[in-house]
Amino acid sequence: MQKIIGLVHTRFSPTGGVENYINKLIPTLLERNWLIHYFTAKIQQPVSAGMIIHKIPVVRGTSVTRMLSFAYGARRAVQRAHLPMVMGFGRSIYQDIYRDGSGCFLDYEKHAGKRFNRLYRRSYLHLERKRYADTRLQRVITVSQMVKDQIQNRYHVPSEKMKVIYSGVDARRLNPELKKRKNEFKMQLKIPEEALTVLFVGNGFERKGLKLLIEAASYLPADLPFVVIIAGRDKRTDHFRNLAMNSGCLERFRFLGYQSQIGDLYGAADLFVLPSFFDPFANVVLEALYSGTPVITTAQVGASEFVRHGINGFILPRPKSDALAEAILEFYATDHKEKMSEEAHRAAAACRWDLHVDDMEGLFLEILEQHRRPQ
């Protein structure tokens, strides 16, 4: 069977959440002898051998015109290509398989507290409805049970079309063995050995709940030895630094910006905290757990499905700073930190990247086989 797949996404770029996933998936599929057709509006990085690019023209102007013209332009291009199988991401509306890594628009709007103008809102919802009503669609892959429930509640996609396939962790760069070098990593970061080291990783600090973490830090006892490491980019980093200063706890925070050697930070951390208002999954939670770092997160984060409250971390029912401070204190006071670290890795141990691709490839081959059968 010739293994051919089309991928549809607005950008072919080195940055972005969906883009990071695609940039891991493509080389793995190429290694497994897949021919990849890529339908996109923007090419912002080198194209690998084994890829065929289909450039989609978009109407410049507003975000609405770009969004709609790409969705419909990509549909026309896919129809002309006559590929045996296509998987879409983001705002695509015509594919055999759609991987939903963002959740439903109305759920994002509700939990993230963000409001959009009426035209953008109507346009996005139009594409969402179009996508899930499309007759070509055979499978919807979701990154969490939370996202699956959202789609079924809003669009009533049949259960047999839905499948949760969790993201995968690169076990070559992240593993619990890093904890053996914890003191070394702390020394490099100039963190006292006895200090509770709390790690926050993510871009877009507002939605990820950094303000709540700063407020929680200000509630903690002054004599509690702790340091908070912030890794990630945000245009308003100075704003959050000022929040920490005004809260009287700036000396507790280390704003490191983007970090390529993230494994060292997981190795240094005693506790990982991500109090997001809404996150369809949050790969960093899975990475932290796989690295043996207990996690505090919220029920609005899809990856909280891997957290067992009091066993390998804590789940906050809602993003609240006082509850977060209580959870940090509870973790600090426990004498089972090492056991929690072991349980953290155990929860995520089966989520290696190679196993994730095995699941995805199995689905691809199943769809291809269905297309080969006489109708």
- Tell me the pLDDT tens digit for each residue of 302-329: 999 999 999 999 999 999 999 999 999 9
Query: Look-up: residue for tokens 């549909």?
Result: 75
Residues 6+ apart with CB under 8 A from 328: 196, 198, 216, 220, 226, 271, 273, 296
Tokens of 360: 């995805």
Check residue 374 and give its pLDDT: 60
For the chain, which residues score pLDDT lower than 70? Answer: 1, 373-375
For residue 97, the one-letter residue type is I
Strands 271-274 and 295-298: parallel
Write down the pTM of the prediction.
0.93
Number of H helices, E strands in the chain: 14, 15
Q: Give the single-character DSSP code of 169.
A: B
Token look-up 């709390």 returns 198
Q: What CA–CA distance (Å, rounded) separates 292 from 368?
A: 38
Provide CB contacts within 8 A for 260, sequence distance 6+: none
Task: Report d(CA 294, CA 340) in Å as an integer.
Answer: 6
Residue 239 is predicted with a pLDDT of 97
Which residues of the chain are in CATH 3.40.50.2000 domains?
4-168+353-372, 176-348
**CB count, 10 Å around CB of 364?**
23
Which has the closest alpha carbon to 285: 297, 268, 277? 297
- Compute the Cα dihedral for 58, 59, 61, 64 and give only its sign: negative
CATH superfamily of 4-168+353-372: Glycogen Phosphorylase B; (3.40.50.2000)
The CATH number of the domain covering residues in 176-348: 3.40.50.2000
